[in-house]
Amino acid sequence: MNRPADHPPIPAPRIGVLLINLGTPDAPEPKAVKRYLAEFLSDRRVVEIPPIAWQPILRGIILTTRPKKSAHAYAQVWGEDGSPLAAITRAQAGGLKDAFGPDVLVDWAMRYGSPAIGDRLRAMKEAGCERILFAPLYPQYCAATTATANDAAFAALADMRWQPAIRTLPPYYDHPAYIEALRASVEAGLAALDFTPDTIVASFHGMPQRTLELGDPYHCHCRKTARLLSEALGRELVVAFQSRFGRAKWLEPATDKVLAALPGKGGKRVAVLTPGFSADCVETLEEIALRGRETFMEAGGTDFACLPCLNTSAPGMEMLRKILAQELAGWLPDA
């Protein structure tokens, strides 16, 4: 059937890019933190203990004690625009607004709390996006982060009669653009210090040792990132794992133990980087920059620095543009 000559052209299908990070409480207060932790720690991708055994511990012990302690940690890093993790992820999405042309909508969501993945996905669909790239911003794949973000996105699709086409961003732990962004950002960070570190620690978020034994590639991804970054910097990095949670054995060595032991072994001036976090958050700003510093100085260290994550730095944004454009190839008209 022919359309009349004056019929408006069919608009090009739009494309959506949804940046996803972990999530954060709505306020640095015990009530909001409790709500957030209840959702986060009930995720079976995060705590792999059968709910019948785990839920009584979670409800009976953890959610009655931890929210107060964690709210204090959040309060120390909370900014004018809220939780750093949310503020930085929002700014990353804002910085990419025009990166891929007028037909590509860039938005952001959080796996736990708000803005919820399902809500942002439905909004993209309503805005006409027929193709959507989910981008969990975890360089190293972990089922507790990457997979659960994708699970939430696919759960939202399960309710849609007319689904958009979907791609997911692969882990980018060894992507040359990521390693180069880390190198540039670490070199700039080191050059800005008023001391010369004798030791550089690369601290990644930990996970239970059992998760590695069950086949999760996270630990290998972290080690490879550290090796490639060490080669790019031309200097040694001490790898450590932070944020231990619960009683099980976690990946070792633990960052706090490494920081406490360094001064006794002659490492008095340390710089810590956290390359597994794409945005600064309570785990970098409170656990490392505040508590890590205290641990290190009390053990006899003389100088301590926690270098910023890639955040919205020029090398960080350039990296995001490159890895996202690579996944959009074939969807973008000129790619």
Ligand X SMILES: C=CC1=C(C)c2cc3[nH]c(cc4nc(cc5[nH]c(cc1n2)c(C)c5CCC(=O)O)C(CCC(=O)O)=C4C)c(C)c3C=C
Enumerate the known binding-site residues.
205, 283
Give the binding range for ligand X (CB under 6 A) out of 142-150, 220-228, 258-266, 301-309: 142-150
Which residue, 185 or 243, is less far from Fe ion as judged by CB? 243
Q: Identify residues 75-94 at the interface with ligand X (CB under 6 A).
A: 83, 85
Q: Smallest gap, in angstroms, from Cβ of residue 278 to ligand X?
A: 8
Determine if 283 is a binding residue for Fe ion (CB under 5 A): yes
**How many residues are recorded in the chain?**
335
Taking the complex as a whole, how short is the minimal distance between the CB of residue 31 and ligand X, in angstroms? 14
Q: Considering CB under 6 A, how many residues would be counted as binding ligand X? A: 22
Annotated binding site for Fe(2+): 205, 283
State which of positions 66-85 bind Fe ion (CB under 5 A). Answer: none
Provide the 3-class DSSP secondary structure of residue 246. Answer: coil
287 contributes a contact to Fe ion by CB under 5 A: yes
Of positions 263, 276, 292, 301, contacts ligand X by CB under 6 A: 276
Contacts 24+ apart (CB under 8 A), 234-241: 235/200, 236/200, 237/200, 237/201, 237/202, 237/273, 238/199, 238/200, 238/201, 238/202, 239/201, 239/202, 239/204, 240/201, 240/202, 240/203, 240/204, 241/203, 241/204, 241/205, 241/206, 241/207
d(CA 293, CA 255): 11
**Part in contact with ligand X (CB under 6 A); list of ranges 125-133, 227-235, 276-284, 301-309:** 276-284
> Do the Cβ atoms of 90 and 120 come closer than 8 Å?
no
Selected range binding ligand X among 11-19, 114-122, 140-148, 319-327, rule: CB under 6 A: 140-148
Interaction mask 94-133, Fe ion, x per CB under 5 A: ----------------------------------------
Cβ 243 to Fe ion shortest distance, Å:
4
- Chosen from Fe ion, ligand X, none, partner binding at 207 (C-beta under 5 to 8 Å by type): ligand X
Contact by Cβ (8 Å): 95, 19 = no
Main-chain dihedrals φ then ψ at residue 28, nearest 5 degrees: -85, 50
Indicate whether 22 belongs to the interface with ligand X (CB under 6 A): yes
Phi, psi angle pair for 104, to nearest 5°: -115, 115
**Spatial contact of 18 and 134, defined as CB atoms under 8 Å apart:** yes
Taking the C-alpha atoms of residue 55 and residue 141, their distance in angstroms, rounded to an integer, is 26
Determine which residue in the list 18, 19, 132, 281 makes contact with ligand X, applying CB under 6 A. 281
Q: What is the DSSP letter of 163?
A: P
Give contact residues for ligand X (rule: CB under 6 A): 22, 24, 46-47, 66, 70, 83, 85, 138, 142, 144-145, 205, 207, 218, 243, 245, 276-277, 281-283
